[in-house]
Chain A
């Protein structure tokens, strides 16, 4: 159904219901008011009858029922034959002036013209009108409010799908592995929108996957020519009779092709982590892994005279792919050694819930938010690919770990919080 039709239909059915209900209510309220009014008049009549009866046995003047009073006067001036008007009359019963509606008409009796006036009190009817108007206002207000509420409620039901769609679009991640699904809607526009969005996201996803596959294939294909270049260069440098200048040329070219191959390998790794190509995980004991890594970097640590402090809780295991765990830890540890100062501290803290590694060093020259960006590196080490921390972050994201950086007491602190549960 079209949205417009749906809204119209909703409004129509709601108003129909409310008006039907309102009409019945209005009828009874009106009825009640009229009854009251008539009762009042009847009571007045009763009062005047009583008075009249009383006056028969007394000397007091009989009451003048103004409603029944007919005033006949001689026509003193020319008047219209029939005329309606409002007038104030003194009601001795109530001892006050009251407003009356009067009909005056001219009647010829014999050759004499008389002006005859008859009256009807307006007060009661006035009161009735005021009440009816008030009742009507109240009823209209109630109708409007109910209409608003009912309309809002039914609209919300209709628009629910729409808001759900908006929400899903906002959270859409082309990298996500969850299927992109939208709620079904019986409103044509929303159904069309969702269908369009589904086709679009599917197309985007396919394009994205194709592109990714292409890049992956390209990366793999690059490895073989790189292997050829490197091997040829290695052979070239074995020629004993090269001059220093020639060595320099070979060295530069070799370094560059090496960097390219490392870069390529690392990018493939990043892509694989992103593609979740490390599905198997097992309980890993980080303590053993850290100790092993520290051991293999021992010489380095010693050469920089770094003091290593380990604070490990006992028997910690985390559920993770062992290979990725190693890459994660190596990158963080090596990072902390590289950016350490001679004679600095290296503090590694491991608890059930987190891993923290801190190293001495001068404050960062850059925005800490940029730390985990790809290819963001400090200018001091041109050999760095600037991908180490990007890998760390990718692995953390994969496992729902939170990784953060801060600078405290002249220490750079990297903090990894393991996912709970």
Chain B
């Protein structure tokens, strides 16, 4: 996937480039509005990650520009502004997602993948990882072609793990992905523990390999080779 990252904070931009690069994406980092306009005009991208507050312009204008030119590209807004109006405005003008800083790289990655699926395959594709098969449209999962009954959260959890396979996923990253911001995260780790326990049990029961590893103190890792 070709990704353009428009973020003026170089350190943050570097992090995204590195994390997404490891996932096999080709990332380009741009630090201001006008360079971004140039790039978008010249090259084709699958997805654009854009910050709203840029030194020489507004990320929302960039999105308006993209929509005016009818460029087919996935758009994720990352912004320190966390108000409903900003969110709604961003989504209304055509962004696919809105992440509030600080966000988890794993979450960004998961969203990028889901946008990519939607754009590339119209969402009708399947996600296959060894013996596991997910059908995102219908929120169902198969192990060795046998359907397993997952709750909504368990399904989301599995999808998140597969999107970030071989990465250490933190508990707080999981909690925020599953329940969103503003959730007081007390006990959330217990909740996550419960979810993962159930998910693992359901997967193992159908003869799935035990991919979920606990990383001491930090979180989990979905390991597959």
Is B191 in the interface zone, CB < 8 Å from A?
A: yes
A413 to B76, CA, bound (A): 41
Determine, out of B37-45, B64-72, B127-135, B212-220, the stretch whose residues face the partner at the interface: B212-220
State whether B16 touches A331 (Cβ < 8 A): no
For B79, give the chain A residue with the smallest CB separation.
A223
Q: Which residues of B contact A377 (CB under 8 A)?
A: 186
Q: Mark A114-142, 1 if CB is under 8 A from B, else 0.
A: 00000000000000000000000000000
For A389, give the chain B residue with the smallest CB separation.
B184
Do A220 and B182 contact each other (CB < 8 Å), given the known contacts A234-B106, A235-B15? no
B9, B153, B154, B217: the one contacting A224 at CB < 8 Å is B9
Is A94 in the interface zone, CB < 8 Å from B?
A: no
State whether A227 touches B218 (Cβ < 8 A): no
Is B145 in the interface zone, CB < 8 Å from A?
A: no
State whether A226 touches B84 (Cβ < 8 A): no
Do A247 and B152 contact each other (CB < 8 Å), given the known contacts A234-B104, A334-B183, A385-B184? no
Distance in Å: Cβ of A373 to nearest Cβ of chain B: 15
Q: Mark A354-397, 1 if CB is under 8 A from B, else 0.
A: 00000000000000000000000100010111011001000000
State whether B19 touches A231 (Cβ < 8 A): yes
State whether A235 touches B188 (Cβ < 8 A): no
Is B34 in the interface zone, CB < 8 Å from A?
A: no
State whether B215 touches A381 (Cβ < 8 A): no
A190 to B104, CA, bound (A): 60
Determine, out of B24-32, B114-122, B165-173, B203-211, the stretch whose residues face the partner at the interface: B165-173
A238 to B220, CA, bound (A): 11
A130 to B105, CA, bound (A): 107
A220, A232, A265, A327: the one contacting B15 at CB < 8 Å is A232
Is A79 in the interface zone, CB < 8 Å from B?
A: no
Q: Which residues of A contact B170 (CB under 8 A)?
A: 234, 237, 251, 254, 258
Interface residues of A in 246-289 (CB under 8 A from B): 247-248, 250-252, 254-255, 257-258, 261-262, 265-266, 268-269, 272, 277-278
Is B82 in the interface zone, CB < 8 Å from A?
A: yes
Determine, out of A11-19, A150-158, A168-176, A298-306, the stretch whose residues face the partner at the interface: A298-306
A296, A323, A381: the one contacting B187 at CB < 8 Å is A381
Q: Mark B90-115, 1 if CB is under 8 A from A, else 0.
A: 00000000001111111000000000
Distance in Å: Cβ of A261 to nearest Cβ of chain B: 5
Is A330 in the interface zone, CB < 8 Å from B?
A: yes
Q: Which residues of A contact B89 (CB under 8 A)?
A: none
Do A234 and B188 contact each other (CB < 8 Å), given the known contacts A255-B172, A330-B183? no
B188, B198, B216: the one contacting A244 at CB < 8 Å is B216
Is A230 in the interface zone, CB < 8 Å from B?
A: yes
For A234, give the chain B residue with the smallest CB separation.
B105
A247 to B152, CA, bound (A): 31
State whether B19 touches A278 (Cβ < 8 A): no
Distance in Å: Cβ of B118 to nearest Cβ of chain A: 22
Do A265 and B217 contact each other (CB < 8 Å), given the known contacts A234-B170, A238-B22, A298-B151? no
Is A44 in the interface zone, CB < 8 Å from B?
A: no
Q: Which residues of A contact B184 (CB under 8 A)?
A: 331, 334-335, 384-385, 387-388
Using a Cβ–Cβ cut-off of 8 Å, how many residues does chain A contribute to the interface with B? Answer: 55
Q: Mark B134-152, 1 if CB is under 8 A from A, else 0.
A: 0000000000000000011
Chain B CB count within 10 A is highest, among A221, A244, A262, for A262
State whether A232 touches B11 (Cβ < 8 A): yes
Q: Which residues of A contact B181 (CB under 8 A)?
A: 262, 265
A261 to B103, CA, bound (A): 9
A227, A247, A269: the one contacting B103 at CB < 8 Å is A227
Is A338 in the interface zone, CB < 8 Å from B?
A: yes
Q: Which residues of B contact A43 (CB under 8 A)?
A: none
State whether B215 touches A247 (Cβ < 8 A): yes
State whether A300 touches B218 (Cβ < 8 A): no
Distance in Å: Cβ of A174 to nearest Cβ of chain B: 23
Distance in Å: Cβ of A227 to nearest Cβ of chain B: 4
B101, B102, B153: the one contacting A296 at CB < 8 Å is B153
Is A295 in the interface zone, CB < 8 Å from B?
A: yes
A381 to B187, CA, bound (A): 7
Is A228 in the interface zone, CB < 8 Å from B?
A: yes
Distance in Å: Cβ of B177 to nearest Cβ of chain A: 13
For B189, give the chain A residue with the smallest CB separation.
A383
A388 to B183, CA, bound (A): 8
B78, B151, B185, B216: the one contacting A247 at CB < 8 Å is B216
Q: Which residues of A contact B2 (CB under 8 A)?
A: none
A228, A235, A250, A331: the one contacting B218 at CB < 8 Å is A250
A261 to B176, CA, bound (A): 12
State whether B15 touches A228 (Cβ < 8 A): yes
State whether A224 touches B186 (Cβ < 8 A): no
Given A230-B104, A254-B172, A338-B187, output 14 extra A-B contacts at Cβ < 8 Å.
Answer: A223-B102, A226-B101, A234-B19, A234-B106, A238-B168, A255-B172, A265-B100, A265-B181, A278-B84, A299-B151, A299-B154, A303-B191, A335-B184, A388-B184
Jot down 15 A-B pairs with beta carbons below 8 A, ordered by A.
A223-B102, A224-B12, A227-B12, A228-B11, A231-B15, A232-B11, A235-B15, A235-B19, A248-B216, A262-B172, A265-B181, A265-B182, A303-B191, A334-B184, A387-B184
The 3 closest A-B pairs by CB, nearest first: A384-B186, A231-B15, A227-B102
Q: Which residues of A contact B (CB under 8 A)?
A: 220-221, 223-224, 226-232, 234-235, 237-238, 244, 247-248, 250-252, 254-255, 257-258, 261-262, 265-266, 268-269, 272, 277-278, 295-296, 298-300, 303, 323, 327, 330-331, 334-335, 338, 377, 381, 383-385, 387-388, 391
